Amino acid sequence: MSVASSGDVGAPASYPAASKNVLAVGEASLQLDAGANWLGEAGCGGVSRYESQTSYQRAAATQGRSYRTGPNVAYDADALAGFAVYNLYNGPSAS
C-alpha cells in the first residue's frame, strides 16, 4: 500500500490520496478548553468526485455520501498546539 498527503482543507480529494489503494494522511488541529477537555477538531481532506467509498468507509462514514473521503489517518500539524516534533534525519542533535 502507498501513502499520500490528503490535500488542503475544503478541496476535493485528489489523486493519489483518493485511490482505494492508498493510505491518505492529513493534518489535524484539536480544540481544547482551559481544562484540556476535548471540544472538537479540524482537519484537511475532502470527498472524491470519482472514487466510491470502500466497505470500511460505508460502515463508519457519517457524511451520507457514496464517494470516498479522506484522510484515512490524521496527525497534529497545528503550530500553536505545542506538539513537539523532532527531526532525526540529520543526526540526533537536529530538532
Tens digit of each residue's pLDDT, the chain (95 residues): 788 877 666 666 678 888 888 888 887 777 778 887 888 777 777 778 888 887 777 777 666 568 887 778 877 776 666 666 566 776 655 44
Residue 89 in domain:
no
pLDDT at residue number 95 = 47
pLDDT (0 to 100) of residue 91: 60
Residue 82 lies in a domain: no
- The pLDDT, as a whole number, for residue 74 is 79
Radius of gyration of the chain (CA): 16
The answer to whether residue 88 is domain-embedded is no
Residue range(s) defining the domain that contains residue 67: 2-76
**Position 86 in a domain:** no
Give pLDDT, residue 54: 78
**40 inside domain:** yes
> What is the reported pTM?
0.59
Please report whether residue 25 resides in a domain. yes
CA 13/CA 19 separation, integer angstroms: 9
In a domain? residue 95: no
Estimate to the nearest angstrom the gap between the alpha carbon of 86 and the chain centroid: 20
Does 93 fall in a domain?
no
Q: Which of 73, 85, 76 is nearest to 25 (CA)?
A: 73
**What nine digits make up the cell of 10?**
475544503
How many domains, the chain?
Answer: 1
Torsion of CA 71, 94, 90, 4, to 10 degrees: 0
Q: How far apart are CA 29 and CA 43, in angstroms?
A: 6
Q: How far apart are CA 63 and CA 17, in angstroms?
A: 18
